[in-house]
Amino acid sequence: MVVVSEKKRHLATETVEAQPPSKKPLEGENAETMLKEAVEAVEKERAKSEDYLRRLQYLQADFENYRKRVEKEMSDNRQFGNQRLLSEIIVVNDELELALREARGSNENPTIAEGVAMVHKRLQSILSKEGVEKIQSLGSKFNPDLHDAALRVVSDEEEGTIVEEIRQGYTLKGKVLRPSIVKVAENPVERESKSEKSALEEIGDNE
Amino acid sequence: MSKPETEKIIGIDLGTTNSAAAIMEAGRPVVIPSAEGQTAAGKMFPSVIAFTKEGQLIVGEPAKRQAATNPDGTIIEIKRKMGTDYKVHVAGKDYTPQQLSAFILQKIRQDAETFLGRPTKKAVITVPAHFNDNQRQATKDAGEIAGFEVARIINEPTAACLAYGLDKADKEMKIMVFSFGGGTHDVTLMEFGGGVFQVLATSGDTQTGGTDIDNAIVEYLLTEF
């Protein structure tokens, strides 16, 4: 026992002796570099977490906007989801009207004409139930939001008045489903009187 | 916790015949629909500007619809004049191609703001690879007139490569981009490597595009029937 404790004491003195006073400042330096490293590491981690936070916030905002948009799209879909189908059905309606006109014109088979008229009427009621409405064109003023001008025709009507409808247009719940294709009045007399404005130049035929 | 800067940059295809814009959302490009709704051209809208006799300025689909009634006040394909001294005299005023293109870009901005529900300031605008410095500057100017902060002007074929994610590839490659537009078509050969797209050669016809095919079909139908 004594021997062991002797040895311990000896070892203890040895360790004390093994650390010469000259090494003490070095230990301080070590601590300093360690501290510096630690601070750097913390800084790095902080920058990283700031970056993560920024990204997370960005993603959150992105997601929030996306969610809002999807909600809006869903409500639009509920309202206008059948838009494509309806725009195809109005073509069928066009053809039905054409058939009806033919059948009535020829007067060959009044029963068929009557039958087609009934189908047409039913289709009309389905379309109107879905919110499809006819665009009024004839006699009204040309409006590019609703009408598509195919050509101008010289007329006594006021300039810009629709004088003929080539194809019926429709709206769906207030939105244009298909614009009307129309002919628009061109009034040379009226134009003459406004000729000071006609210094307009066209660039359509460029190059 | 302050909200981060989430301002989106919108990407704009300012075309000769049609224009469109898109944003990145949840990592994917989403095309911004035109306010008038879907047309035959999809979400794009015609690059048409019109000054009506009533003094109203209209852009896009309605401008195209009224073209037949107002040929003098309707301006089409202004992109062809970008970077030149050309001026359009319309509605009693002279307009540069930049100013007219700005009307198209303004419409895009409004559509984007309606779609996103917040202001959009930053934009990237694409130009054909063959555009020279003048034409690029004119495009940038148009963006600024429209109130955009133009983050970058990039080549259309480069944009196409980015859309297909070719920039994510780890290897070098040569790419041919064939762009068939409404009014023009271009073929561009590019090299990709180290994250950079380099245009090797570009050529095309600035006078031929999909519209010509449409017109040819119409002509054919008219003569045939």
Contact B80 A68 (CB under 8 A): no
Considering the domain architecture, whether residues A149 and A188 belong to the same structural domain is answered as yes
User: What whole-number distance in Å separates Cα of residue B55 and Cα of residue B50?
Assistant: 9
The mean pLDDT of B89-93, rounded to a whole number, is 89
Considering the domain architecture, whether residues A142 and A199 belong to the same structural domain is answered as yes
pTM of the entire predicted model: 0.76
**pLDDT for res A190:** 67
pLDDT surpasses 70 at B172: yes
**pLDDT for res B184:** 82
pLDDT surpasses 70 at A202: no
Most trustworthy range by pLDDT among B145-154, B155-164, B175-184: B145-154
Considering the domain architecture, whether residues A180 and A200 belong to the same structural domain is answered as yes
Per DSSP, what are the bridge partners of residue B49? Answer: B59, B75
Instruction: Kindly list the residues of chain B whose beta carbon comes within 8 Å of any beta carbon in chain A.
Output: 1, 3-4, 6, 25-26, 36-38, 50-53, 58, 62-63, 65-69, 71-78, 80-81, 86, 88-92, 115-117, 207
User: What whole-number distance in Å separates Cα of residue A158 and Cα of residue A189?
Assistant: 10
Considering the domain architecture, whether residues A88 and A102 belong to the same structural domain is answered as yes
Return the structure tokens found at B184. 């023009």
Contact B75 A176 (CB under 8 A): no
pLDDT surpasses 70 at A207: no
Q: Provide the edge-to-edge strand list for the sheet that holds B48-51.
A: B57-59, B48-51, B74-76
The percent of residues above 90 in pLDDT, for chain B, comes to 57
Considering the domain architecture, whether residues A114 and A161 belong to the same structural domain is answered as no
pLDDT single digits (tens) A46-81: 999 999 999 898 888 888 888 888 888 888 888 888
Q: Is residue A54 part of a domain?
A: no
Q: Is residue A27 part of a domain?
A: no
Which H, E and C letters describe chain A, residue by residue?
A: CHHHHHHHHHHHHHHHHHCCHHHHHHHHHHHHHHHHHHHHHHHHHHHHHHHHHHHHHHHHHHHHHHHHHHHHHHHHHHHHCCHHHHHHHHHHHHHHHHHHHHHHHHCCCHHHHHHHHHHHHHHHHHHHHCCEEECCCCCCECCCCCEEEEEEEECCCCCCEEEEEEECCEEECCEEEECEEEEEEECHHHHHHCHHHCCCCCCCCCC
Contact B68 A184 (CB under 8 A): yes
Q: Is residue A91 part of a domain?
A: yes
Q: Exposed, middle or buried: residue B212 (CB in 10 Å: 0-12, 13-18, 19+)?
A: middle
The percent of residues above 70 in pLDDT, for chain B, comes to 95
* Domain around A200: 134-207
Instruction: Kindly list the residues of chain A whose beta carbon comes within 8 Å of any beta carbon in chain B.
Output: 54, 57-58, 61-63, 65-66, 68-69, 83, 142, 144-145, 147-152, 159-160, 175-176, 179, 184, 186, 197-204, 206-207
Q: B50 to chain A: which residues are within 8 Å by CB?
A: 144
Residues 6+ apart with CB under 8 A from A198: A191, B72
Most trustworthy range by pLDDT among A115-124, A190-199, B41-50: A115-124
| pLDDT band per the 50, 70, 90 thresholds, residue A205 | very low
Query: Which residue of chain B comes nearest to A185, CA vs CA?
Result: B69
Considering the domain architecture, whether residues A85 and A124 belong to the same structural domain is answered as yes
pLDDT single digits (tens) A139-183: 999 999 999 999 899 988 888 899 999 999 999 988 889 999 999
Return the structure tokens found at A85. 């189908």
Considering the domain architecture, whether residues A139 and A200 belong to the same structural domain is answered as yes
Distance, C-alpha A116 to centroid of its chain: 40
Distance, C-alpha A78 to centroid of its chain: 16
Q: A207 to chain B: which residues are within 8 Å by CB?
A: 80, 207
| pLDDT band per the 50, 70, 90 thresholds, residue A193 | low
Tell me how many domains chain A contains. Answer: 2
Give the closest-approach CA distance of B76 to chain A in angstroms.
6
The mean pLDDT of A191-196, rounded to a whole number, is 58
Q: Is residue A102 part of a domain?
A: yes
Q: Is residue A43 part of a domain?
A: no
Interface confidence, given as ipTM, is 0.77
